[in-house]
Amino acid sequence: MLEIKNLHASVDGKEILKGVDLTVPAGEIHAIMGPNGSGKSTLSYVLAGRDGYEVTEGSVTFKGQDLLALSPDERAATGVFLAFQYPVEIPGVTGATFLRTAVNAVRRARAEDEWDGIGFVKAARAKLKELGMTDDVLKRAVNVGFSGGEKKRNEMLQMAMLEPSLAVLDETDSGLDIDALKIVAEGVNALRSPERSMLVITHYQRLLDYIVPDVVHVLADGRIIKTGDKNLAHRLEAEGYADVIGEAA
Amino acid sequence: MSATTETIEQVENLAGEGYKHGFVTDIEMDMAPKGLSEDVVRFISAKKNEPEWMLEWRLKAYRLWLTQEMPSWQKLDLPEINYQDSYYYAAPKSQADGPQSLDDVDPELLKTYEKLGIPLREQEFLAGVTNIAVDAVFDSVSVATTFKKKLNEAGVIFCPISEAIQEHPELVQKYLGTVVPYTDNFFATLNCAVFTDGSFVYIPPGVRCPMELSTYFRINALNTGQFERTLIIADEGSYVSYLEGCTAPMRDENQLHAAVVELVALGDAEIKYSTVQNWYPGDENGKGGIFNFVTKRGICKGDRSKISWTQVETGSAATWKYPSCILQGEDSVGEFYSIAITNNYQQADTGTKMIHRGKGSKSRIISKGISAGKAHNTYRGLVRVTPKADKARNYTQCDSLLIGDRCGAHTFPYIESLNRTARVEHEATTSKISEDQLFYCQSRGIGDEEAVALIVNGFCREVLQQLPMEFAVEAQKLVGISLEGSVG
């Protein structure tokens, strides 16, 4: 599904990713853990194609295509979804308008029929139900005045509507209390499927109690220095990053 | 290069191509001699077969105009305008006697309006869901007015103003020039002298106009100015919603449009006036386009009367326009909702005046200015509370959005309060479309141009909501198209 080879990336001329190698097969959930400043968010932005994140070396292949050659919206159409650490407010644009514009843009790019108003509302209601959300989120302006938990759940709704084959969750747990965290994790688990891969980026192990990963990677100083199963996350929690990083070095 | 910069450039590159109404209709025209003189004023009046009082009024205005100078306080950089270089009357020959019915309208003209998306055949309306009567003004004359019969049954008069001068002279004489006198300003005075057509509306007491009324203005002929005059009177306790749309062909020369609109709302009456202005804005280098110098004013004459202006200004090379309300009646209400979009080299100096004279009068101003390319967008507004207007209230909100770093947004609010019990509020913001917002939309599959349109439409939402349904959809698309050449 996703194959990252020797990926180097810079921001403002400073190298942040220094040779990341990572393969995520279809249907698997991989966690990327690492201390602050290790390059976790940079990796997610590079995958989504954010401007200002310059790839200097290496390759990213997604479903057999060169992902790096595509614009952010083309990547979304191919099936990449980034759940933001800090979802952005768009004043005056209702959730319904935003979602319908997004879904139809993606459907158009995939040469599928666009949804009319009724088709869209039906589909959105079904997803809201699955996620245990009310349609309030469709009427309000996107993320404006949302609590941290509401913002993250809104990301889950967008993910459910866009049906990506690769979801990158960037510190989805940040700013959430434990109840909100559980709700978001349920949302993610509801979207698990054999066709969908996920890359869960997090600083803390606690999210992984609710979203159980198949593989855990440790990112430090722009490289993946260790890979293991879910027990690696527990070890990091117990022993701290310093020990694990020191051991790998 | 950042994504935003790229988007802005793409959007800018599209300018000109984005204007969908730039075609020319090939039709034989009856023109006045080029230039402006007393003879031309007499020519126009004679063409319209006007009574003596009308001609006298025009001549008074013309003589005054000769002594006036073009205002210079606006923040518009304009070339010298040669008023002798224009035609002041241009009418399709086939319409020489005026249309008797829709069957008489030149098929070429019907085709033009069809192409513009304005169906003039009533059966086309009946087939759809639209419920709008249209007066179509082509250069200097009205070529068709639909649904006259249905409106007549309700007692509503909706006709070209030239017809109203013939058929309802008592109403025209009573109200014409009472809100915008012929002495008002340079462009209004010019309009009084040479206005050729426009719409006239009278809603009798207690009548709620059964359908939306609309006038569609089209400039077609080369080197021709359009000077239309609209007069709307809502008698006691009546209601009317009126829409106005405008387009013009793409030409290298600037063309002048100097209209006057007067609204009169008597006691408990309400007038809702909406404009979607999409005159040709000129090309991406600032060549050509319409100079839109318009005087629009309404008077809330009676107690509890209300006038609401909503405008979406996306076209024109230069716009000079301040739809205003004189709030004379007690507890009368004035509203102004505006979206002004400028791109490339477009310039807009627009806003409103709210003159509070009546006790307890209220006004609300919501202005959204969007500037892209090398455009300049100015909000200029006056809120004046006279000594007698006890407990008058005003709320003003002016938001500016900048796209790119070569455009400008300017705000000139004037507040004059001469009454201690008045309350006047003013809020203003200036913002830019952020990279974060653009990237967020793009990461959801929305292309950069569509993202900009989405964000700008969100920025304008409060104003778009004020438009009647059919117009709101149109206006949203227009925001997108004018931002193709700019942002949205």
Once rounded to an integer, what is the mean pLDDT over residues B295-317? 94
Higher pLDDT, B136 or A35: A35
Once rounded to an integer, what is the mean pLDDT over residues B297-311? 97
CB contact under 8 A, B443 and A76: yes
Once rounded to an integer, what is the mean pLDDT over residues A19-36? 94
CB contact under 8 A, A77 and B445: yes
The predicted-structure confidence for B377-393, as pLDDT tens digits, reads as follows: 999 999 999 999 999 99
Which range among B126-130, B216-220, B288-292, B450-454 has the greatest average pLDDT? B450-454
At residue B414, the pLDDT reads: 95
The predicted-structure confidence for A88-114, as pLDDT tens digits, reads as follows: 999 999 999 999 999 999 999 999 999
Residue among B434, B448, B455 whose CB faces A93 most closely: B455
Q: Which pLDDT band, with edges at 50, 70 and 90, does B230 fall under?
A: very high
Say yes or no to pLDDT of A46 above 70: yes
Q: Which pLDDT band, with edges at 50, 70 and 90, does B469 fall under?
A: confident
CB contact under 8 A, A82 and B450: no
Asked if A70 is an interface residue toward chain B (Cβ–Cβ < 8 A), one would say no
At residue A93, the pLDDT reads: 94
At residue B488, the pLDDT reads: 34
Average pLDDT over chain B reads 84
Three-state secondary structure readout of chain B: CCHHHHHHHHHHHCCCCCCCCCCCCCCCEEECCCCCCHHHHHHHHHHCCCCHHHHHHHHHHHHHHHCCCCCCCCCCCCCCCCHHHCECCEEEHHHCCCCCCHHHCCHHHHHHHHHCCCCCCHHHHHHCCCCEEEEEEECCEEEEECCHHHHHHCCCEEEEHHHHHHHCHHHHHHHCCCCCCCCCCHHHHHHHHHCCECEEEEECCCCECCCEEEEEEECCCCCECECEEEEEEECCCCEEEEEEEEECCCCCCEEEECCEEEEEECCCCEEEEEEEECCCCCCCCCCCEEEEEEEEEEEECCCCCEEEEEEEECCCCEEEECCEEEECCCCCEEEEEEEEEECCCCEEEEEEEEEECCCCCEEEEEEEEEECCCCEEEEEEEEEECCCCCCCEEEEEEEEEECCCCCEEEEEEEEEECCCCCEEEEEEEEEECCHHHHHHHHCCCCCHHHHHHHHHHHHCHHHHCCCCHHHHHHHHHHHHHHHHCCCC
Chain A / chain B CB contacts < 8 angstroms: 84
Once rounded to an integer, what is the mean pLDDT over residues B15-37? 71
Say yes or no to pLDDT of A44 above 60: yes
Q: How far is B1 from chain A (nearest CA, A)?
A: 8
Best of A12, A45, A50 to disrupt the B interface by mutation (most B CBs within 10 Å)? A50
The predicted-structure confidence for A226-235, as pLDDT tens digits, reads as follows: 999 988 988 8
At residue A249, the pLDDT reads: 60
What value of ipTM does the predicted structure carry? 0.95
At residue B94, the pLDDT reads: 63
CB contact under 8 A, B445 and A97: no
At residue B252, the pLDDT reads: 66
Average pLDDT over chain A reads 92
At residue B221, the pLDDT reads: 65
Least confident of A196-200, B101-105, B341-345, B398-402: B101-105
At residue B188, the pLDDT reads: 95
How far apart, in Å, are the Cα atoms of A214 and each of A79, A241, B257? 21, 20, 69
CB contact under 8 A, A102 and B439: no
How many angstroms from the chain centroid is the CA of residue B415? 24
Once rounded to an integer, what is the mean pLDDT over residues A191-210? 91
Say yes or no to pLDDT of B485 above 60: no
Say yes or no to pLDDT of B6 above 70: no
At residue B282, the pLDDT reads: 80
* C-alpha–C-alpha distance, residues A52 and B42, integer Å: 66
Q: Percent of chain B having pLDDT more than 70?
A: 82
Q: Percent of chain A having pLDDT more than 70?
A: 99
Q: How far is A159 from chain B (nearest CA, A)?
A: 9
Say yes or no to pLDDT of B474 above 90: no
Q: Which pLDDT band, with edges at 50, 70 and 90, does B120 fall under?
A: low
The predicted-structure confidence for B180-199, as pLDDT tens digits, reads as follows: 999 999 999 999 999 988 88
Per CB-CB distance under 8 Å, the chain A contacts of B446 are 73, 101-102, 105
Which range among B112-121, B124-133, B197-206 has the greatest average pLDDT? B197-206
Q: How far is A232 from chain B (nearest CA, A)?
A: 31
Once rounded to an integer, what is the mean pLDDT over residues B343-363? 94
Minimum CA–CA partner of A92 in chain B = B458
Q: How far is A157 from chain B (nearest CA, A)?
A: 12
pTM score: 0.83
At residue B16, the pLDDT reads: 42
Say yes or no to pLDDT of B14 above 70: no
Q: Which pLDDT band, with edges at 50, 70 and 90, does B126 fall under?
A: very low
Contacts with B, A 98-117, CB within 8 Å: 98, 101-103, 105-106, 109
